[in-house]
Structure formats: C-alpha cells, structure tokens
C-alpha cells in the first residue's frame, strides 16, 4: 500500500512541476522560415500587437466609430459644445476639451494640445463624419 502512495505522490509532484513550468515559461511563438527566393512578404506575428499612430492629429483622420468613442455623447454632449456651438464660455467647454484630449491619448498614445482639438479642420471633419447640422 505504501508503494502505491509513493507512485501517486510522485506522479502528482511531476504533474505539479510540469504545470508550473508550463505556466511560468510560456512557449515562444515560432517564426516561419522564409526562403530568400520567396516573394511572399513576412506577416507580423499574431502574438504581439503594435500600435501604429499616424503622424499628425488623429482627430483629422478618425472615422465615425473613433469619434464617437473620443468625443463624449453622454452625460455631456461634448461634440455639440466644442464643435457645433464652439462657445468658449459654454458650460463644460473646458471639461469637454480635456476629456477629448484624455480619450485620444488613451486610445492612440498621442498627447494633443488644446489648439489641436480646437483646430478648425477638426471641427469640419467632425461635422462631416458625424452628420452634424
């Protein structure tokens, strides 16, 4: 009976050590071997993500989905306040600009200045994309 417990405990130890090695040392992605004669470009690995930020103001090239994430609609309609009314004395005007800057920085890693958010081209782009009046 003692030998059965020794085998079971030994097997449990091997499984525990194997699980720890598997958990703490993840397998590295294998890159495919590409011959020099191959005309196929090498695809990026799917295990890592690369953030590609276009040069310039990302608000100028944003699509409707990006603008809806970056320019708050609830609880404050920042798009109306900043881009439609464009009244610097409006309630929450400064808050909305700060919120747009924060959201763009979080999404793209690019810090925008207040002037970049208030750029007239951004206002025109926002109106075109979002279908404002």
> What tens digit of pLDDT does each residue of 26-70 get?
565 555 555 555 555 555 555 555 545 446 889 888 888 898 898
| Residue found by looking up tokens 């809806």 in the block | 68
- The answer to whether position 47 is within a domain reads no
Total domains in the chain come to 1
14-27 residues labelled b (16+ CB within 10 A) or e (exposed):
eeeeeeeeeeeeee
Domain membership flag for residue 38: no
The predicted structure's pLDDT at residue 51: 46
Q: Which domain holds residue 117?
A: 58-130
Assigned token pair, 72: 């708050």
CB neighbour list of residue 32: distance below 8 Å, 6 or more residues apart: 42
Instruction: Indicate whether 32 belongs to any domain.
Output: no
Which helix (DSSP H) or strand (DSSP E) does residue 12 occupy? helix 2-24
Record the pTM: 0.56
């Amino acid at each position: 009976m003692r030998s059965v417990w020794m085998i079971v405990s030994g097997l449990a130890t091997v499984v525990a050590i194997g699980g720890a090695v598997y958990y703490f040392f993840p397998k590295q992605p294998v890159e495919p071997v590409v011959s020099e004669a191959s005309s196929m470009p090498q695809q990026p690995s799917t295990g890592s993500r690369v953030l590609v930020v276009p040069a310039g103001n990302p608000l100028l090239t944003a699509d409707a989905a990006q603008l809806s994430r970056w320019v708050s609609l609830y609880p404050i309609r920042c798009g109306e306040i900043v881009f439609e009314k464009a009244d610097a004395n409006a309630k929450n005007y400064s808050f909305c600009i700060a919120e747009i800057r924060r959201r763009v920085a979080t999404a793209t890693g690019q810090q925008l200045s207040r002037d970049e958010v208030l750029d007239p081209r951004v206002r025109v782009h926002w109106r075109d994309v979002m279908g404002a009046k």
